[in-house]
Amino acid sequence: MPESVTGPSVFVQTWGCQMNEYDSARMVDVLAKDRGATRVTRPEDADIILLNTCSVREKAAEKVFSQLGRWRDLKEENPALVIGVGGCVASQEGHAIREREPLVDMVFGPQTLHRLPQMLDNVADNGAGTVDVAFPEIDKFDHVPPASAEGATAFVSIMEGCSKYCSFCVVPYTRGEEISRPFDDVILEVVELADQGVKEVTLLGQNVNGYRGPMHDGSVCDLAMLVEHVAEIEGIERIRFTTSHPLEFSDALIDAYARVPELANDLHLPVQSGSDDVLAAMNRGYTAAHFRERIARLREVRPDISLSTDLIVGHPGEGEEEFEATMDLVEAVGFDSAFSFVYSSRPGTPAADMADNESREVKRQRLSRLQARIAEFNQAYMRSVVGTRQRVLVERESKRGDGQLAGRADCNRWVNFDAHPRLIGQFVDVDVTEALDNSLRGQLVIHEPAEVGPSTEAEAVGG
C-alpha cells in the first residue's frame, strides 16, 4: 500500500443513520492516530476506501455490491488499493461479501472498527484479506482515540446496539445487544469536544433513551440525568438526542425538557404505526394511546416543540382499517416531519416470515396520502415560525449562495440569512421573515452594546 510521508489517504462512503456517520468519523480518527491517515473527498485520491453500510436500505446488500462494482476499475489500476466494507451489511453478510466480490480486502462490523490498523496489517502481510464481524466483549470505545471536532456541532455515541427486537429491524442482529457507555467516558468526550469549539452535541444510540450508563459510585445514569450533566459543561449551549423509543420516553426525560433550556426544542420519536394490532405485530411494546399520552405530557412543558417520527406503511398485517388508525394518529399528534417508507422485508427478521396480502401499489398509494398530509403539517409549522426570533447556530455558507449563511434553529430547521462568514460556528439571533418548502429565511438581529464605550465586533453582531 503506497503511503506518503504523512500516511495513507482514506475515502469513506457513509450510508445510513447518524450512528453510521459517527462510526465513519471514528474510523478516520483510528487511522489518523495509528497511521497518520488523512481523509479525502474522492475515491480516486485514496489509498484506502471504506464503505460504511446500512441494512435499513431496501435491497441493502445488492446496493453494496453495485457500489463495489463502480470501484473495480480503481482496484485494477492500483492493486495496492485497500477496499473495506464495514457497518451493518458487513456484520450481516460477513464472509459472503468477500466470496462474491474478491476485490474487498476487509470486512468489519460496527463493533470492530477500532481493529482497522490490525486488519490493514493482515492485508499487507498475507494479501488474503480479513473478516472481523464479532461482537467483542470489550467495548470499542475503549480503543478509539479521543474524538476530533470539525465545526461547532458533533455527534457523541452514548450506547451501542438494541435489545428491542422489532419484527422489521435487523439492528439487534448487526450491532448486538444494548451496551451503554460509562457516564464518565461520555462526559469526558463532550468536554474534549467543547474544548475544540463544539457548541452543540447530538447524543446517539439506536435506543438512546434506553441509556443506562454506569457511574463511578456504582449507581446508574439515565438519559435525563446525562442531559442535565452535559448541559453543565462549559461551552455546550445546545443538546439533541436520537433515536428514541416511545416505550422508554420517561417522565424524567419529559421533565428535562422543562428544566434544561439547552435541550433543543425538537424531538424525533418513531411511532411506526397508529394501529395497536400492527404495533403488536411489530413487537413495539406500546399502544397508540400510550404514544399519545407521552406527547400530550411533553407538550405540557414544551407547547411549541417540533415533532418528527418514523412511519412504516404496509407492514404485514396492515389493512385499510389499520392504515386509517395511523392516519388518525397523525391527525391527533400533528407531526411536522416524518421519515415514512413502504415496508420491505429484511432477511432474518420475524416480519420476513409473516403473511403479507396487500399489493405494492396499494401500499404506495397509502404512503403518498400519508406523506401529503405530513407535508401540510410541515408547512403549517414552518409558517408558525415566521415572525418569531430564533436562536441559530451558524454552520456554513448557504447553498443558496448570494453571500448568505445557513444555520439550524432550536427547532432543527435550516435558516438562511445575510451575514458575514466570520459568524460561522457562532450562535446568533435571527428574526424569521419567510417560510419556504424546506427552510426558513430571516434577518440577523444586531445587538447593540449595553452602554457607550469600546466594544468588540462580536458584541455588535453576535447573539
pLDDT digits (tens, 9 = 90+) for 230-241: 999 999 999 999
Instruction: Judge whether residue 86 has pLDDT over 50.
Output: yes
In this prediction, residues 369-377 reach a mean pLDDT of 97
Residue 137 above 70 pLDDT?
A: no
Residues 6+ apart with CB under 8 A from 433: 386, 441, 442, 443
Confidence of residue 348 (pLDDT cuts 50, 70, 90): confident
pLDDT at 221 over 70: yes
Say which range, 28-32, 167-171, 399-403, has the weakest mean pLDDT: 399-403
Confidence of residue 463 (pLDDT cuts 50, 70, 90): very low
Asked whether the predicted pLDDT for residue 337 surpasses 80, the reply is: yes
Give the pLDDT confidence score for residue 138 in this predicted structure.
Answer: 52
Give the burial class of 41: count Cβ atoms within 10 A of its Cβ; 0-12 exposed, 13-18 middle, 19 or more buried: exposed
Rg (CA), the chain: 23
The pLDDT of residue 455: 41
Say what the pLDDT of residue 458 is. Answer: 37
Confidence of residue 217 (pLDDT cuts 50, 70, 90): very high
For cell 453495485, name the residue. 66
- Whole-angstrom Cα distance, residue 446 to residue 414? 20
Mean pLDDT over residues 288-300, rounded? 98
Cα separation, 333 vs 314, in Å, equals 21
| Residue 1 pLDDT | 46
Mean pLDDT of the chain, nearest integer: 91
The reported pLDDT for the residue numbered 16 is 83
Please answer whether residues 104 and 68 qualify as being in contact, where contact means their C-beta atoms are separated by less than 8 angstroms. Answer: yes
The predicted model gives 72-100 an average pLDDT of: 92
pLDDT band of residue 171 (cuts 50, 70, 90) is confident
Give percent above pLDDT 70 in the chain.
93
Residue 456: what pLDDT? Answer: 38
* DSSP code, position 272: B
The mean-pLDDT minimum among 94-103, 128-137, 244-253 falls in 128-137
Question: What contacts 396, CB < 8 A, 6 or more positions away?
Answer: 405, 406, 407, 424
- Position 3 scores a pLDDT of 44
Residues 382-438 have pLDDT tens digits of: 999 999 999 999 999 998 777 899 999 999 999 999 999 999 999 999 999 999 988
- Give residue 345's pLDDT: 87
pLDDT at position 80 is: 93
Rounded Cα gap, residues 277 and 280, in angstroms: 5
The pLDDT of 100-119, averaged and rounded, is: 91
CA angle 149, 154, 160 (to 5 degrees): 115
Q: With contact defined as beta carbons under 8 Å apart, do 60 and 89 qualify?
A: yes
What's residue 333's pLDDT? 98
Between 56 and 86, the more confident residue is 86
Q: Which of 175, 86, 92 is nearest to 136 (CA)?
A: 175
Q: Is the pLDDT of residue 57 over 70?
A: no
| CA nearest to 234, candidates 297, 290, 192 | 192
Range with top average pLDDT, 18-22, 325-329, 342-346: 325-329
Calculate what percentage of the chain has a pLDDT beyond 90.
Answer: 75
**Dihedral in degrees, nearest 10, Cα atoms 286, 310, 157, 48:** 140
- The grid coordinates listed for 65 are 455490491
- Res. 443: pLDDT tops 70: yes
Give residue 451's identity as a one-letter amino acid code: E
Helix (H) or strand (E) holding 30: helix 18-35
Does residue 460 surpass a pLDDT of 50? no
Q: Please report where in the chains the cell 462490523 appears, as a residue.
A: 109
Has residue 151 got a pLDDT over 80? yes
